[in-house]
Amino acid sequence: MSTMVLARPHPALRPYIASEYQGWSEVSSRPTLRRELPAPIIPLILNFQSPFDIAPRDGPGRRMGSFVAGLSDVFTEVSTTGPSSCIQLNLTPIGARVLFGIPLGPIAGLTISPADALDSPWHRLTADLATLANWSARLGMLEDFLLKRLRDERQIPRQLIGAHDLLARSRGRVRIETIAERTGWSRKHLAAQFEEHFGLTPKRLGRVIRFNRAVSLLSSSPLHPLADLALDCGFADQGHFNREFARLAGCTPTQYLAGISPEGFSPPAV
């Protein structure tokens, strides 16, 4: 049995948050397992109940309560054996850079506790939210906290903001040379700036954006021909699409649709 509450962010926060606030509770008679697929967001999970067992594809597993996940181009498996009660905040790379107030390079590919990565106000947030009696009050406190955390975007080079927006608007299909030309930077400097501030180079982030769009289209239009979907999302052909999907999701598009491997998938973020 599960419940979910959604709320739209304040207009001042919408450029920085990729989806609605999500508050959810879940009780299952058996352990749950989900495979979190790569997405161009930085999720922050504020957990009020049972911890999660988190196993990245390329690293050792950890048991964690609240966590933040840096940008990655590999999947992570998340399981729990007890009741869940959480708030999830999905931040854009620019949003995470602004609201966290730190470069995201050091947390790229990692799933870590807010206490290990963020400053003390973030450490206290879960405990403060847990004292409230309902989702409406919790989401209201979260939004008040985020509005106070808004910081000047000048901490991020303006060329980098424009480069990220161009990559996102193109759905990951713009040429890296074009982005570099728009910024006036070399490709090497562009890649270094993306990695420092966001955690992935523009090439790797573009790959994640294309993949994430393909997952969204698969989920919403499962009868869409895979060859057409591959071209729509910027892959050379269906073979290229299948190979990329296997690398990032650990299964084929057909297996994803059938729910064969793995046991469960989280819905795409965008």
| Cα dihedral: 7, 8, 12, 18 (round 10) | 110
The string over 66-99, giving b where at least 16 C-beta atoms fall within 10 Å of a residue's C-beta and e elsewhere, is: bbbbbbbbbbbbbbbeeebbbbbbbbbbbbbbbb
Structure tokens at 147: 């509005």
Contacts of 43 (CB under 8 A, 6+ apart): 36, 68, 69, 88, 89, 90, 91, 269
- The CATH architecture annotation of domain 2-149 reads Sandwich (2.60)
The pLDDT tens digits of the residues spanning 208-228 come to 999 999 999 998 888 889 999
Interval 157-165 mean pLDDT: 95
Interval 166-179 mean pLDDT: 97
**Domain 204-258 classified CATH 3.40.430.10?**
no
Q: Is the pLDDT of residue 181 over 80?
A: yes
Q: How far apart are CA 204 and CA 156, in angstroms?
A: 20
Position with higher pLDDT, 56 vs 158: 158
The pLDDT tens digits of the residues spanning 121-130 come to 898 899 999 9
| E-assigned strand segments in the chain | 2-7, 21-26, 32-36, 42-47, 52-56, 62-64, 67-69, 76-80, 84-91, 111-112
Counting every residue, how long is the chain?
270
Query: What does the pLDDT read at residue 262?
Result: 42
Q: Is the pLDDT of residue 99 over 60?
A: yes
Q: Is the pLDDT of residue 267 over 50?
A: no
Least confident of 3-17, 20-34, 236-250, 253-267: 253-267
Structure tokens at 7: 């709320």
Query: What does the pLDDT read at residue 1?
Result: 66
Interval 88-105 mean pLDDT: 95
Structure tokens at 201: 């180079």
Could you please report the per-residue DSSP string of 207-218?
Answer: HHHHHHHHHHHH
Query: What does the pLDDT read at residue 269?
Result: 39
Q: Is the pLDDT of residue 153 over 80?
A: no
Query: What does the pLDDT read at residue 61?
Result: 80
The strand pairing partners of 45, in sequence order, are 67, 88
What is the chain's mean pLDDT, rounded?
A: 90
The strand pairing partners of 33, in sequence order, are 79
Least confident of 4-8, 103-107, 121-125: 121-125
